[in-house]
Amino acid sequence: MATQPRAVTSFYHGKQYRKGDIVEESDAVIADLEKDGLVTTKDAPAPSNKKAPEPENKKAK
């Protein structure tokens, strides 16, 4: 499956795109938008299910 281009930030290019939306434009337009930093074709990193570290108890024992 090909990677879908997603908006990195909100912008307007013929239609309103919000951060995370799939951008449906021609390959040439996608390349220009990616060059300008508005679109990415890289896969999003997989979410991690790691728990945040427990806060240390500052009270002296």
Q: What is the pTM of this model?
A: 0.63
Computed over every residue of the chain, the mean pLDDT equals 84
Q: Domain limits of the chain?
A: 6-40
User: What is the distance, to the nearest Å, from the Cα of residue 43 to the centroid of all Cα atoms in its chain?
Assistant: 9
Tell me: pLDDT of 3 over 80. Answer: no
| CA–CA dist 56, 42 (Å, integer) | 37
- pLDDT tier at 35 (50, 70, 90 boundaries)? very high
Query: Could you count the other beta carbons within 10 Å of the beta carbon of residue 23?
Result: 21
| CA–CA dist 24, 21 (Å, integer) | 9
- What is the average pLDDT across 7-16? 88
First and final C-alpha spacing in the chain = 57
